[in-house]
Every structure is written in structure tokens, then in C-alpha cells.
Amino acid sequence: MDEKNALRALKKKDEAALAWFIDRYAAYVNTIVYNIIGRIMTASDVEEVASDVFLVFWSNADKVKPDKIKAYLGGVARNKAKDKTRELGQDLPLEDDVIGISSVGPEHTFELREQAEMLEKAIRSMQHPDREIFLRHYYYCHPVAQIAEEMKINASTVKTRLRRGRQKLKEILSEGGFDDEIKNLRYDGQYTG
Amino acid sequence: MMKLKISDMMDNIQDDTVLFQIKEIASSDKIKEVAMNKLHANSNTHARTRKVSAMLIAAVLATILLAGTTLAVYYFSMKDLEGPAVQVGGEEAHTLSLNGLKGSPEYEAAQEWERYVEAWYAKGENLAVPDLAPDAYTQYNAFSQDAKDTLDDILSKYNLRMHDAATQVNSLDELYSGLGVSGFMPIVGDNGTFPVSGTFYDDGTFTLNGAAALPDGADVRYQFYCFTKGTFTRVGYLLADVNDFEEWVYTTSHGDDILLAIGANKSILAVNLDKSFVFVNILSGAENSDDNRSSYGAKPVGKRDLEALADSFDFAAIRGLAR
């Protein structure tokens, strides 16, 4: 069976297809989940979350494209594990996770789609290894030490690259916010920024 | 200055470019076993509950490679929210339960208590008197000793506890501060000027009248109810007929299964979490007729709008509220 046929079968609610995907991606999903919650939860908790990821895939197979399965599973695994940390009131050990956009007032909102587009633009503009470091830390929630070890660079370099990535993201968000401020000004005639 | 959390922004992107070290933590067979257990458990209904023994699990696992069987994944439906019929203006009206699924202790206790309260009222008993000192029972309309004793019996019967005193809030910040959490509701519409009001209890139960901005920028107003399981809330029923809705189960980007239902003038969102039950009465439907008070003036919503609204609530944080 290949992924395309397995996905087709999964969309028809074929349990054998689900089992096939689990065999193929269990280790990948487990690793993502474990990297986020392994230090605060048990092995059976990791298994529970990992199994939930595949059940979400089962329910949403219709929405997944054949060439995006790994990315989809990774995204769900990451979000589910992150949700677990929130349920327990735990913070992720991330560097400067909050950025301030001074050109945009607090009452302004970016739609989720806008945020995702600007974030992807920022990430695409980063060169290697900055892009990989940024994704490892803020998407996969790898601590700085783990990134340094796996990428064979020192921790201070990781932090420097993360800072650069945050700066790039701020620039792009600020540009997007400024454009929307102009729209708001025309809409209600009152500048609130 | 606007503040954004990078890791939260990452919730809505996907990546498969990073090659990290794969760890051998659990075997795929173990993940399969857990996943299949849940898949088969979810296919049960109240009438069709069945015990799945370890041997049956093993038998199913052994056959999945041989046959392409299919099982529907069952969540709960609007029928599980049906409340009692009530009299409105001399006519019988259908209702929906706000605080739990049919058959749950919270649902049954609420109905039983309401029958007592109505019966006493009809006989002119258990009336609030001017010099009555308020206590924990007052919020449940238990004023006489007989009523308090009856309420205690019901709570004992269903293993529920009373709420402590309610705290009123007039903003999302007050709600977050009171519950000790960071934001978990969508940004309020009208550029933050929409008047929010609500109530919360120390056990994590809360109600909120709020609003959210839909993807096209229109606002939708809602009444959000979150009841911690194991507690007793005296809450009314929503006047609505389950047959007037089109319902479906939507899985959010975070993997939460949400029951959504769209009607002509209102819509419903309901989630059965581990430790709490959430019911959202959305004051907009597919049509919003001029003679409907709740949805009058609101922009009609579609299925995608309700799914976007479901995605905007942070159910992971809401899960953590129950105490």
C-alpha cells in the first residue's frame, strides 16, 4: 500500500488503513509529543496523546491532501501535546515567546489566517539554519540545549539565531499591522493607535 | 502595543521540513491498541453500550489487516441535549438542557429539583420572605427548611456539590483574573467595546455573554456556559426544538470534537469535556428573521462561520478550569 491509496482507504473508514498509518508514523508522532510533554507526563500519557492524533486523522481524513500527511500529523501532534501542557497549567520552556508589535494598538486583532500567512512569510524569508532553529524551538518546542546538541552548534548561537528570527517576524507583523491601521483610519475616521 | 505569542501563532501552520532525531518511545502496536480501543468505544450509544474485553480487542486487532470493516465514530447528538417540554404562553415548547447530557447526574438532578420547586410554588410553599438571610441554598431557590433538606437529598443522590458564592464579571479580563488563567475566549467584537458580562464560581463553572468576530469581520453574540462536572447548577433550559437544527460533529484544529448545530435563528455549540460540559447558545442562525428577538439585526451565519467560532475557543485552557 502507498500513502495515496492508504489515504483513500482511510477516507472510506478502513481500519486497516489507520493501522498502516500508525505503523508508518507512530515513531514520528511519538517523538513530537514526547519532546513537548515527556518531561512532565508519563509514557502512557504520551501514548494516549499519540493515539488521539491518529483518531483526529481518522475523523479528518477528508481534509488532508496526500502530500501533506506527515505535516498534518505533525501539526496535530504538536497542538495536542501543547494543549496538554496548558491543561496542566505548565508553560513551554521557550525563549521570549511573546513579541510586542509597537505599531499596532492592543485593540487591533489579526485574524488567525493573517497571522499564519505572516508567520509563514517570516519563516520562508529566514535562511538555513535560522529557519530550522526557529521551527525546532517555537513549533516543535525543542529546548535550546536539545537544538544545540542535535544540530551540533553551541547554545549561544542558537539563541542568537532565535533572536534574529523573532526580529524578522516582528518586522513582517509590523508591516502588516501598519497597513491595517490605515484601513481602520479610513473606516471610522478615528485613529486609535 | 500589541503582544503575540509565537508558539500560539505556530498552531495554525504545518511543517515537515525539519528532520529531528526520532526516539523509540512506544511501539506502533501499543499506539494501535490504544487508538482502536478509543475508536470502538466512541462507536457506542447510550442504548448500545457494550463492554469490550481484552480478548475482543485482540480479536479486532487480529482481523483489521484482513478485512476493511468500517465503524462510525459516535459523539453525542442534539437528541442527547433534549430537555423537558415546558408550557410557554399556554403552548407546549421544546427545550434543550444547558448543563449536561441526558442521563448525566447534572441533568437528572436539575430536572428533579425543578419539579420540586414548581410543585412548591404551585402550592404557595417555599417562598422567599423579605427577612430571609441569604445562604448557599438561596441561589437554588431553596428557602424553606423542607426545601433545603430536599436539595441535600438530591445532591447526595447524584453525588453533586453546591457552588460557592457567585462572582459577577463585566469584562473578559475580570473573568480571566477571577479564574486564574490567561485568555481562552476569542477577541470580543466591536473592537473590544462589546459589553461582556458573566458569572464564575471557584469550582471553575462560569457563564459569559460575549461576542466574537467571524472571519468576514461580522460579530456574532453568544451565551457561553461551562459547568464543572460534579457540581449542581440551577440553570434554565433553552427554548429550542432539536428537529429545527442541522447538526454535525466538527473536529477543531486542536483535535477537540465539537457538536455544532445551525438553526434558522440560533445555533448551538456543545462540548463534553472530561471534567466539564460546555454549551454555547449562538445568537445567530442561517436566516435571522425579523421577528426573532435574539438574532434580530445579526448577520446570518453559515457552517464555516460556526466552525471558525469553535476553533477560536481554547478548550485546552477551559479544560484546566474545573476544580
Mean pLDDT of chain A: 81
User: pLDDT band at A104, cuts 50/70/90?
Assistant: low
- The closest of B250, B280, B244, B247 to B264, measured between CA atoms, is B244
Q: Which of A81 and A178 is assigned the larger pLDDT?
A: A81
Q: Which of A31, A58, A83 sits opposite B316 (nearest CB)?
A: A83
CATH topology agreement for domains A3-87 and A112-188: no
Look at the block and give the residue holding cell 399556554: B90
Phi–psi pair at B83, nearest 5 degrees: -100, -170
Q: Report, as an integer, the average pLDDT of A96-114.
A: 61
Mean pLDDT of A70-80: 91
What average pLDDT does range A140-166 have in this prediction? 92
Instruction: Tell me which residue in A74, A79, A115 faces B255 most closely, judged by beta carbons.
Output: A79
Q: Judge whether A82 and B320 are in contact, CB under 8 Å.
A: no
Strands B86-88 and B238-239: unpaired
Q: Which residue reads 462540548 in cell numbers?
A: B271
Q: What is the pLDDT of residue B15?
A: 86
Query: Which positions of chain B have pLDDT values less than 70?
Result: 1-3, 42-75, 129-132, 187-195, 291-297
Rounded-to-integer distance, Cα B2 and Cα A177, Å? 10
Q: With H, G, I as helix, E, B as strand and everything else as coil, classify residue A101.
A: strand
pLDDT of res. B154: 94
What are the φ/ψ torsions at residue B288 (nearest 5 degrees)? 55, 70
**Is CATH 1.10.1740.10 correct for A3-87?**
yes
pTM above 0.80? Answer: no
* A40 in B contact zone (CB under 8 Å): no
* Cα angle B160, B163, B167; round to 5: 160
Task: List the 72-131 stretch of B: residues with Cβ below 8 A of A.
Answer: 72-73
Q: What is the pLDDT of residue B168?
A: 87
Residues of A in contact with B319 (CB under 8 A): 83, 87
Q: Residues B109-168: pLDDT tens digits?
A: 998 998 888 888 888 887 776 666 777 888 888 888 899 999 999 999 999 999 988 888
Q: What is the pLDDT of residue A179?
A: 39
Chain A partners of B3 at a C-beta cutoff of 8 Å?
Answer: 98-101, 106
- Residue B128's CB is within 10 A of a number of other CB atoms, namely 10
Of the candidates B107, B106, B105, B80, the one whose C-alpha atom is nearest the C-alpha of residue B270 is B80
Nearest partner of B217 among A187, A103, A106, judged by Cα = A187
pLDDT at A190: 29
Residue A10: pLDDT band (50, 70, 90) is very high
CATH code for the structural domain at A112-188: 1.10.10.10
Higher pLDDT, A41 or A177: A41
- Write the secondary structure of chain B as one string of H (helix), E (strand) and C (coil): CEEEEHHHHHHHCCCCCCCCCCCCCCCHHHHHHHHHHHHHHHCCCCCCCCCCCHHHHHHHHHHCCCCCCCCCCCCCCHHHHECCCEEECCEEECEECCCCCCCCHHHHHHHHHHHHHHHHHHCCCCCCCCCCCCCCCHHHCCCCHHHHHHHHHHHHHHCCECCCCCEEECCHHHHHHHHCCCCCCCCCCHHHCCCCEEEECCCCCEEEEEEEECCCCCEEEEEEEEEECCECCCCCCEECCHHHCEEEEEECCCCCEEEEEECCCCEEEEEECCCEEEEEEECCCCCCCCCCCCCCCCCCCCHHHHHHHHHHCCHHHHHCCCC
- So what's the pLDDT on residue A50? 93
Which long-range contacts link B165-168 to residues 24+ away (Cβ below 8 Å)?
Answer: B165/B136, B165/B139, B165/B201, B166/B139, B166/B199, B166/B200, B166/B201, B167/B199, B167/B200, B167/B201, B168/B197, B168/B198, B168/B199
The residue-averaged pLDDT of A15-33 equals 93
Q: A108 falls in which pLDDT band (50, 70, 90)?
A: low
The minimal CB distance from A100 to the residues B1, B22, B24 is found for B1
Nearest to A19 by CA among B23, B41, B27: B27
Across the interface, whether the CB atoms of B4 and A173 are under 8 A apart is answered yes
CA triple A66-B73-B95, angle to 5 deg: 125
Q: Provide mean pLDDT across the span A54-60.
A: 91
Q: Does A90 touch chain B (CB under 8 A)?
A: no
- CB burial class (10 A; 0-12, 13-18, 19+) of residue B173? exposed
Of A54, A101, A150, the CB nearest to B2: A101
Please tell me whether the interface predicted TM-score (ipTM) of this complex is above 0.90.
Answer: no
Nearest residue in chain A measured CA to CA from B216: A111
Instruction: Please report, for chain A, the start and end positions of each structural domain, with discontinuous segments joined by +.
Output: 3-87, 112-188
CB atoms < 10 A from the CB of A18, how many? 23
H or E element at residue A100: strand A98-101
Which residues numbered 153-192 in A keep a CB inside 8 Å of some CB on B? 166, 169, 173, 177, 192
Contact yes or no for B190/B285 (Cβ under 8 A): no
Phi, psi at residue A16, to the nearest 5°?
Answer: -65, -35
Check residues B93 and A153 and name the one with the higher pLDDT. Answer: A153
Q: What are phi and psi of A165, to 5 degrees?
A: -65, -45
Nearest CB partner across the interface for A31, out of B22, B32, B213: B22
Closest-approach residue (CA) in chain A for B67: A16
CA distance B159 to chain A (A): 25
